[in-house]
Structure 1
Amino acid sequence: MQRLAILLFTLTLSSAACAKESFKVCWSIYVGWMPWSYGAEQGIVKKWGDKYGIDIEVVQINDYIESVNQYTMGEFDACTMTNMDALTIPAAGGVDSTALIVGDFSNGNDGIVLKGGKDLAEIKGQSVNLVELSVSHYLLARGLESVGLSEADITVVNTSDADMVAAYGTDGVTAVATWNPLLGEIEAMPESQTVFDSSKIPGEIIDLLVVNTETLKSTPALGKALVGAWYEIMELMSGEQDASSAAKTHMATASGTDLAGYEAQLASTEMFYTPAQALTLTNSEKLLASMKSVAEFSFDHGLLGNGVPSAEFVGIEMPAGTYGDETNIKFRFDPTYMQLAADDKL
């Protein structure tokens, strides 16, 4: 009887875990992720959660990398992050993760700025402040390649995104690589010149909402609710002028700028306002090539872990094919839920 009672108790706990009804999503300030702030505060996320019988808490984390780390440690069920960080932090750490929403790609929102310089080649011999091993580091490497330089020609100075603007304001800092809204603040400072930006590598720095794969599998309602909420917000942003302006003004204020400033950031972002636009990239051969490039950079910089034999160690599953080890798939681009939105089946 005692064994039976223990078994029943264990089964009850297991059922409760499978029937989880509350979920947590984290985000950090970036032009392409501000819609989550708006959706949470305006009740749009709650409305879609209610539709599918689940509760979704949306939490802002002030430090971007910390948000990704907290997701990786299981503190959150979903998190906004770039394709590179999704590969090198949760996926490389063994946390099977799915890109649920392909929201946009950076089309100038990430840049390299020189103080008093006019050409990227002038960066040779300088120290460059950036968030080390982030997409800024990847952008720098791609930029250096374009002018026949390598990382051996510069010195990387690891700098928190929270400290980037203040650091650039000091006399000793002459070069930075960063993202908006920090990039815009730095570009407005004296003697600043952007010498390379992500518009030169379109479709390589992708902004995502990433969800724990096991959580998504056990609760498809979470995927449906998040995707449904997202595209309702996208429709508002791109729709009727007054409603669009009101939504974007809210996002601008939440990110510390005004509507004009936010519009400027959107201008350098290839936002996918419809699921069809997102699916075009998600299903493409271009994504396969971009993730190969990102994986190779990550391997070269030791971001896939100690002792990893090659850039193909972590399998990345995409509609156009799989890059890497098919027996170790830890990062997935799943178009299922975006396709449901495109088919108006949410």
Structure 2
Amino acid sequence: MQRRNFLKWISFFSAGAALPNFLAACNAQPSVGTGAGENAASKPLTIGVQPWAGFLGQYIALDKDFFSAEGVTVNEEYFQVATDTNTALAAGKVDLAWVGVPDLMTLVAQAPTLKILMISDYSNGADGILGRNINRAADLRGKKVAREDAPYAKIFLGSYLKQAGLSEKDVEVVSLSASDAATAFAAGRVDAATTYEPWLSKTVEEANGQILFTSKDTNVIPNGLAASAETIASRRDDILKYMRAIDKALAFAKTNPEEANQICAKKLGITAAEIPPQLSGIRIFDVKGNQEGPMNLSSPYSLVKSLQSGEQIITQLGLISKPIDAASLVDDSLVKSL
């Protein structure tokens, strides 16, 4: 199952500050919405998105009609799973899409001009690796390790193994969903498991294990806004308007957390009461946060550095046929111009 189909814990991050909290869910159904107003002059931008709390800027901007206020018409294609969003983006059926960056690294084989324009969020503690009688990465050599069969999970596990000079070839990988990986670990069927909240904290408490490694304060698992070079060239002004509306939505979430919770809950098919307790799992970036963090090579949240690290791992695993120039996947010119 896709990672975006599960409930996750999140915290809101902008320019170094923690903001309100939101929760992604898998029970939202595909839908189409429009953030259009009569003053929007150009043809619509079609946006692909799926249930994921990190994409709350899209949800709020659509609900509050911030897009038309910026002079851009937006049609939303709301997919149930990330793979459908990825397919639509690669096929050119949407102009922009909110995607997992590790997925994009494998998509460029089908659509080589795809670029990441801004980062929505990094996992910030929601993802982790559970272990039992494991003190360091080197201790996993020859052990059974469960992980989801998805690029993000392979990169995350690879990042930990790399600390000891290991790769997946040095362990026995068991492909399981995040929930099943946690269950297998609790039952003693595997020695370690890559999973995420709520299973991460719950399992470590119930299964006499420990958390070996988490995504907290890392740039290992990013998500963001992507488009083709052709779309960027032909719709640049509209994309800038779109980004301004997203930034306005994130500012709204900071100053109006209760209403933002309600908007997000309605979109994701859950209650507003379910949202606030789900804290500190992802780190969200607004425009200023992007400029200072992911789009800044000297930042610990540098997107290019994240891509470079991930590229080494997915090349080693054979997920891509040839190396990728990480910097070529990023177009930071738009967000830096805002």
Shift of 1:251: 3.1
Distance in 2, matches of 1:237 and 1:219, equals: 27
1:100 aligns to 2:100 (yes or no):
no
Shift of 1:218: 1.1
Shift of 1:143: 0.8
Residue 61 of structure 1 corresponds to which residue in structure 2?
A: 80
Question: Structure 2 vs 1, CA of residues 232 and 61 (structure 1 numbering), >3 Å: closer, same or farther?
Answer: same
Matched residue type, 2:229? T
Residue 6 of structure 1 corresponds to which residue in structure 2?
A: none
- Residues 127, 155 of structure 1: 8 Å contact kept: yes
Question: Structure 2 vs 1, CA of residues 54 and 38 (structure 1 numbering), >3 Å: closer, same or farther?
Answer: closer
Q: Secondary structure at the match of 2:122?
A: strand
Runs (5+) with no aligned partner, structure 1: 1-18, 318-328, 342-346
Which deviates more, 178-187 or 289-298?
A: 178-187
Residue 21 of structure 1 corresponds to which residue in structure 2?
A: 43
**Residues 136-175 of structure 1 deviation map (CA, whole Å, 9 limit, x = unaligned):** 2111111112245432332223335686667667664553
- Residues 120, 196 of structure 1: 8 Å contact kept: no
Residue 225 of structure 1 corresponds to which residue in structure 2?
A: 241
Distance in 2, matches of 1:206 and 1:224, equals: 21
Shift of 1:99: 1.6
**How do 1:152-171 residues align onto structure 2 when only pairs under 5 Å count?**
152-160=169-177
Q: Secondary structure at the match of 2:257?
A: helix
Shift of 1:183: 4.5
Question: Structure 2 vs 1, CA of residues 142 and 316 (structure 1 numbering), >3 Å: closer, same or farther?
Answer: closer
Runs (5+) with no aligned partner, structure 2: 1-40
**Residues 232-280 of structure 1 deviation map (CA, whole Å, 9 limit, x = unaligned):** 12102223xxx12331354367375823333232xxx33223x222112
Shift of 1:118: 6.0
Distance in 2, matches of 1:194 and 1:260, equals: 24
- Residues 72, 242 of structure 2: 8 Å contact kept: no
Shift of 1:80: 1.8
**Residues 185-235 of structure 1 deviation map (CA, whole Å, 9 limit, x = unaligned):** 6557544532211226x2233221112221222122431232122111210
1:276 aligns to 2:252 (yes or no):
no
Q: 1:261 aligns with which of 274, 277, 290?
A: 277
Q: 1:177 aligns with which of 168, 172, 194?
A: 194
Distance in 1, matches of 2:262 and 2:164, equals: 39
- Residues 26, 61 of structure 1: 8 Å contact kept: no
TM-score after normalising by structure 1: 0.70
Q: Which has the higher contact order (CA 8 A, sep 6+)?
A: 2
Matched residue type, 1:302? G
Q: Secondary structure at the match of 2:280?
A: helix
- Residues 98, 334 of structure 1: 8 Å contact kept: no
Distance in 1, matches of 2:164 and 2:238, equals: 45
Question: Structure 2 vs 1, CA of residues 299 and 149 (structure 1 numbering), >3 Å: closer, same or farther?
Answer: closer
- Residues 252, 261 of structure 1: 8 Å contact kept: no
- Residues 154, 314 of structure 2: 8 Å contact kept: no
**How do 1:183-222 residues align onto structure 2 when only pairs under 5 Å count?**
183=200, 190-191=207-208, 193-199=210-216, 202-222=218-238
Q: Secondary structure at the match of 1:263?
A: coil
- Kindly name which structure, 1 or 2, has the bigger radius of gyration based on alpha carbons: 1
Distance in 2, matches of 1:224 and 1:159, equals: 40
1:77 aligns to 2:95 (yes or no):
yes
Distance in 1, matches of 2:180 and 2:89, equals: 23
Distance in 2, matches of 1:110 and 1:80, equals: 19
Q: Secondary structure at the match of 2:149?
A: coil
**Residues 290-318 of structure 1 deviation map (CA, whole Å, 9 limit, x = unaligned):** 3322222222122222xx3xx2xx3444x
Residue 154 of structure 2 corresponds to which residue in structure 1?
A: 137
- Residues 32, 104 of structure 1: 8 Å contact kept: yes
Question: Structure 2 vs 1, CA of residues 51 and 35 (structure 1 numbering), >3 Å: closer, same or farther?
Answer: closer
Which has a greater percent of helix?
A: 1
Matched residue type, 2:43? E
- Residues 100, 209 of structure 1: 8 Å contact kept: yes
Distance in 2, matches of 1:123 and 1:255, equals: 40
| Aligned-pair Cα RMSD in Å | 3.3
1:339 aligns to 2:336 (yes or no):
yes
